[in-house]
Chain A
Amino acid sequence: MKFTTAILAGALALASFTGQASAVTFKFAFQGDLKSLDPYSLNETFTHGVLGNVYEGLTKRGKDLKIIPGLAESWEVLEPTRWRFHLRKGVKFQNGESFTADDVVFSADRARGPSSDVKTRLPADAKVVKVDDYTVDFVLSGPNPILNAEWDTWYILSKKWCEEHNSMTAQPQAGQQMSYAALHANGTGPFIITDHQAGVRTLFKRNPNWWGKLESNFDEVIFTTISNDATRVAALLSGDVDWADPIPLQDVPRINASGVAKVLQGPELRTIFLGFDQYRPELRYSNIKGKNPFKDARVREAFYLAIDEIAIKDKVMRGAATPSALMISPLLFDLSKDFTRPAYDPAKAKKLFADAGYPNGFEVTMDCPNDRYVNDEAICQAIVAMLARVNLKINLLAQPKAKYFAKILVSGGYDTSFYLLGWTPGSFDSWNILANMYRCRDDKGVGGNNNVGNYCNPKVEQLTKEVLVENDKGKRDQLIKQAYEIGQVQDWAYVPLHQQALAWGVSNKVKVVQRPDNQILFYWFRKE
């Protein structure tokens, strides 16, 4: 009797267990919204990451960030200006259409077309030629060794589908006309978006017809925005979500001790740094009139030495940061090892200020975002206090990112004297850094578009040009190294602080793969 009861109970337990396990649902939450499903309308890490589960590029990047075949099975460089891609056969879009070379040609035009935000994915003057249904050539105007570096986020759309739904160009950022592609998705990837309520939640289902072998066991995935940090942590701890990002650093121990979830930390590719206006004859926000102290490299060096990055890493970042000597992550540049960060030296900083003619320091306003990077506002506050100890009076202006970017970037006329910013090279390569950060620009931002303080040195400018066309990796790395030696070591153009660490909160029931580019590709995740 007892025995049969036990069996019955066991059978019931088993039944209920299999009942639950029959549909595996993965719930994840992120700080920001999934704003558009059109993969060309917003050049943003999170959007690209999520859409990477639905759409695919010709190439992808593997778990180790190495470029691997995607919709292209293989490719070859026929001559330095002609690349040939052999497309995967038998791939179907989620609406059932077959994927062919026409879609690639179409996507290349669409990505470079009006209102696209991913125009930099391939050169504007590159010609995309269909050789046959499954072969495409890219004809370039000059050699470009990093042509396909960012193609993992240049997703291929169906030409026919876009035509049918009047989405031939990327979702226009302006105007009243709506784009079907912004609210619906039709990729070739392992997951299908079945319902999308912008800013609330997005529903994914497994794509049974995907060409690859799916590592994930998810049948259904639900995405929700949770913008408030504390709420997001609470949702993870109470089991309401399986994955949450970002996790505030101070909550890491508690989550790790909860027995419900763990925090997965890893290095991120984004470098957090400080920049100076070294262009205007007089700073906009300073008590020094008639001249610009930041034009003097000694002042920039003094700022560098007066900031105790180790303390910031230990206290503000709670160890979750890698102090950086360069504006690029060591993961992305092999010769980073040749550079070291000068040690914290407030005494020398004071002396440098005196040498430069500011023995009593001066006053300047610092622009800082307060909802963009990990602990951005706290970092700025700590820096303000450290600079106060070398007699500088820094007025801190910490603002939400909407206002912050509107002020300091090109649209605001680079309206800042001293700022904190973060940068990830989209191509995972130094040229992106040099071109954006070290190249001279004009007032309208032509040139080094994100060189906010307009650091400008013709030697670095020249090296940047050479880096772009150099095909030999060894020589290229040497050129990059030279550029950094001038721009960073000699000129102190920026104060690189650190690469912040990723902090994903992951339920103990879920196994994930975390890449330093912070893309959430849940086709590699599994849930028990």
Chain B
Amino acid sequence: MSAQHDASHIKWSPRLTKFLDNDLVYSFRKSKITVVATLVALVIVLGAVLAPWIAPHNPFDLKTLNLLDSNMPPVWAKGGDARFLLGTDDQGRDVFSTILYGSRLSLAVGLMSVALAAALGITLGLLAGYSGGVIDTLIMRAADVQLTFPAILIALLIDGTVRALFGESHDENAAIWVLVLSIGLSFWVQYARTVRSMTFVEKNKDYVLAARLIGIRPWFILVRHILPNVIGPVLVIVTINLALAIILEATLSFLGVGLSPTQPSLGTMIRIGNNFLFSGEWWIAIFPGVTLAALVLSVNLVGDWLRDALNPKLR
């Protein structure tokens, strides 16, 4: 709700590329916290991408799990085992490896759902803003309806519907797509609203009018001229949404509609670990929790910086 509100305050300068070259880079280097955040995010992303090569175990390969290894504390604690740096969970999975593999899933769900939301939202926003009239009203009323329900509700509902419509698939990967769809579809409104209002502004500018006069087709104008101008605020929403999507995935896990427990994401790990907080087996929830928080926090910080840096008024 407020994310798009924030973003709509950015009066976007058309000369994006010019200052990307210098100003943006400069402002980035000046903001130490952003540099640190970027580094943290990079480490997590790299760990996730390279998981199959750097993780000591493959927790998704069930053959390698041994129940007898379960609930071991981190290596430095009493009873720790050198094989398991950060300990093991209730199924005997190595927590460190599972975090690497789990981040992969969390990031994948986050990125794909945000991409879906952005694609859908930008398209509809452009369409609404450029066409106006009935199409605009239809799209924006649809957005209103959607805004009536918070993301968590929508995701719950979509999840339920998809599962019911297509049956409970026995393919574990399908669960990922269901999540992507649920989260993606619950986020498109912010993009649509922002892009629409910006399109409104842009479409009456002289350069668009001129393009129209010389007979350039509307979709071409949209893509070629208006789209680059809305990228900035969209980028800001993307970062905020990415953080939200990762958290939402975790929350849906908590509510019992997340990924399969045999392929845990960070959220699933926290949900499972949650049950072991009081019993002293804190490492099952805390390490993935810290990873999730670090990831979300750094993405948010980068988003923060991006919003300030891209806002010409603030420079």
Contacts and interface: CB of A to CB of B under 8 A. Distances in A.
Interface of A: 229-230, 233-234, 237, 248, 250-251, 253-254, 285, 308, 311-312, 315-316, 365, 370-371, 377-378, 381-382, 384-386, 388-389, 395-400, 403, 407
B249 interface: no
Contacts of A378: 90-91
B67 A396 contact: no
Main secondary structure of the interface of B (DSSP, over half): loop
B279 A395 contact: no
B63 A233 contact: no
A370 B279 contact: no
Ranked nearest first, the 7 interchain pairs of A and B with the lowest CB-CB distance are A388-B62, A365-B170, A250-B279, A385-B62, A385-B65, A395-B170, A311-B67
Contact of A381 (B171, B172, B262, B274): B262
A381 B61 CA distance: 12
Contact of B68 (A250, A311, A388, A397): A311
Contact of A370 (B91, B172, B256, B274): B256
22 contacts: A230-B278, A234-B278, A237-B278, A253-B279, A254-B278, A254-B279, A311-B67, A315-B71, A315-B90, A315-B92, A371-B256, A382-B67, A385-B62, A388-B61, A388-B63, A389-B62, A389-B63, A395-B170, A395-B172, A396-B261, A398-B261, A403-B163
A434 B71 CA distance: 38
A377 B281 contact: no
Nearest to B279: A250
A500 to B, nearest CB: 16
Interface string B188-201: 00000000000000
A378 to B, nearest CB: 6
Interface string B269-284: 0000011111111000
Contacts of A382: 67, 91
B120 to A, nearest CB: 28
A230 B70 contact: no
Given A250-B71, A250-B90, 16 more contacts: A230-B275, A250-B275, A250-B279, A381-B91, A381-B262, A382-B91, A385-B92, A388-B65, A389-B63, A395-B171, A396-B260, A396-B262, A397-B260, A398-B261, A399-B168, A403-B163
A476 to B, nearest CB: 39
A253 B71 CA distance: 14
- By CB atoms of chain B within 10 A, which of A385, A397, A398 has the most? A385
Nearest to A396: B262
Contacts of A248: 275, 279
Given A233-B278, A407-B168, A385 B91 contact: yes
Contacts of B279: 248, 250-251, 253-254
Given A308-B67, A381-B261, A381-B262, A250 B276 contact: yes
Contacts of B62: 384-385, 388-389
Given A371-B256, A378-B90, A230 B63 contact: no
Contacts of B91: 378, 381-382, 385
Given A315-B71, A388-B63, A251 B261 contact: no
Contact of A229 (B170, B260, B275, B281): B275
A377 B67 contact: no
Given A381-B262, A384-B262, A400-B256, A285 B170 contact: yes
B252 to A, nearest CB: 12
A377 B279 CA distance: 19
A154 B190 CA distance: 57
A398 B170 CA distance: 11
Contacts of A365: 170
A397 B263 CA distance: 12
Contact of B70 (A315, A377, A384, A386): A315
A234 B256 CA distance: 21
B277 to A, nearest CB: 6
Contacts of B281: 250
A312 B276 contact: no
A467 B70 CA distance: 44
- By CB atoms of chain B within 10 A, which of A316, A381, A400 has the most? A381
A315 B67 contact: yes
Nearest to A371: B256
Contacts of A254: 278-280
B263 to A, nearest CB: 9
A370 B261 CA distance: 10
B310 to A, nearest CB: 42
B262 A251 contact: no
Nearest to A249: B279
Interface in B17-71: 61-63, 65, 67-68, 70-71
Contacts of B275: 229-230, 248, 250
Contacts of A399: 168, 256
Interface string B102-132: 0000000000000000000000000000000
B65 to A, nearest CB: 4
A407 B169 CA distance: 13
